Amino acid sequence: MINLLILGVFKYYNFFSESLQDLLKVFGVETDWATLNIILPVGITFYTFQALSYTIDVYQKKIAATHDVIEFFAYISFFPQLVAGPIERATNLLPQFQNERRFDYAKAVDGCRQMC
């Protein structure tokens, strides 16, 4: 709920605040409510839904909660999968971060060749 509350405040507070002020002006009531004149953080909706996906997977016991902060934030901020499709579930992505990796020069060269 906290994730959705933060998203709602950032995205909709000014809209509802200004709409209520306009509505009250119709009835002759002048208000001077504060509005949040802040820039919306880039990707806040993506981050929120990634965090919700993780929370739901842990709650449903589909995956154990990670105690590694780097793994958690790597999952939350993993933008490359955004272009491939919808929000990635923690059960699919987090185990890939937890696997032991070794550098393979041939695979690195092949990957660079494919990107070029």
Question: Residue type for 1, please?
Answer: M
Domains of the chain by residue range: 1-39, 41-116
Q: Phi/psi at 64 (nearest 5 deg)?
A: -80, 145
Which pair of structure tokens corresponds to residue 113?
Answer: 């060749």
In 1-116, beta strands by DSSP E: none
The 10s digit of each residue's pLDDT in 31-47 is 776 666 677 777 788 88
Nearest to 7 by CA among 34, 39, 53, 47: 47
Give this prediction's pTM.
Answer: 0.62
CB atoms within 10 A of CB 75: 20
The 10s digit of each residue's pLDDT in 59-96 is 999 999 999 899 899 888 876 655 556 677 788 788 88
